[in-house]
Amino acid sequence: MADDGGESGNGGVAADARRLRRVALRLRLGQAVLGTALTFFHRCRAQWWRAGEAPAPGRTRALALACLFLAAKVEENPQRMRDVLNVAFAIDHGRLLQDSHEYWQLKEQLVRDEQLVLRDIGFDLAAPRVHRALLSCAHALSLPPAVVQLASDAANDSFVEPLALRFSDDVLAASAIAIGHAAARTVGGLTTAPLHAGWWEAVAVSSDELRCCLAELLPLCDLVDAPAREGPGVAADSVARAVDVVCSAGVFAGAPLAADEAPGVGCGAAGGAARAQMPCVGPDLASAADAARGRAAGCG
């Protein structure tokens, strides 16, 4: 399959994530499958980086597809190999596979790639449950359906980058809720009741964890990029300011976290210990807004 032109850096990751999303939509796979597939893919990339074994140019697309094929099985929604290959080939080339020899080559490659993915993730098929955590948080906070939907959209966007490797499901869910609630009041123009001060503590998330995760998640969110009446750049600032209001109990007050003072993110001792080696070097919310605004302009 064709090279995406960006095997290294965030551009290549984002391109692979967008392609996987298109394949998943064509196959009518749910967000659980896509989230699991992207998490597997990010775990593979982390392993490649640690081992210094980056795939050859053009190979990450095929390996990402193997992650989707495996994730569908893990989420109990297995897909026929022919369907997966045909959809991916059609997206890349604008036509279905017609050469049986080419199909058998791609089929054998997908089988080999699935084995490589399993090896790289250490045969650990644990999957993220961000949306499940989000629904639990939404119930605890009595959030309206419109806010839950926007928060779910923000949670979907979190899988574009390896945030699930650095933050627990609860932290990601709380961050998505903060963005969803803010977007409902700005981009969505909805009237929603304000969340009580320190609401994140009700879902077992600390203010440091929330701040750190929001700084990374906010620039990724498509809802921030969505054109609004006042324009995408202003919309990004509006959502960022609204997030600050949602987290008004001093979460974003003062200087941003430095690398040596950032806590291990995630809930509980196990989560903190597992992520202690991956501290967040958090830009403050204004920097996140600048990144979101720049991304919005780039999408135009």
Domain boundary among 120, 138, 171: 120
The DSSP letter of residue 203 is G
Contact present, 35 and 130 (Cβ < 8 Å):
yes
Instruction: Quick: pLDDT tens for 134-167.
Output: 999 999 989 999 999 999 999 999 998 999 999 9
Residue 147 belongs to domain spanning: 130-299
Q: How many C-beta neighbours within 10 Å does residue 104 have?
A: 11
Task: Please report where in the chains the tokens 């095997």 appear, as a residue.
Answer: 7
Q: How many C-beta neighbours within 10 Å does residue 126 have?
A: 11
Query: Does 86 fall in a domain?
Result: yes
HSE-up (13 A, CA, CB side) for residue 167: 30
Distance between CA atoms of residues 261 and 144, nearest Å:
36
Q: Are 228 and 200 members of one domain?
A: yes
Residue 197, pLDDT > 50, answer yes
Type of residue found at 133: A
Instruction: Quick: pLDDT tens for 283-293.
Output: 333 444 444 43
Q: Are 94 and 148 members of one domain?
A: no
pTM (2 decimals)? 0.72
Query: Does 1 fall in a domain?
Result: no
The listed range with the strongest mean pLDDT (6-10, 51-55, 187-191) is 51-55
Domain boundary among 120, 153, 188: 120
Q: Are 154 and 275 members of one domain?
A: yes
Question: What pLDDT is recorded for position 237?
Answer: 60
Q: Are 179 and 280 members of one domain?
A: yes
The CATH number linked to 22 is: 1.10.472.10
Give me the number of domains the chain comprises: 2
Q: CA torsion sign, 201 to 202 to 204 to 209?
A: negative
E strands in 99-251: none
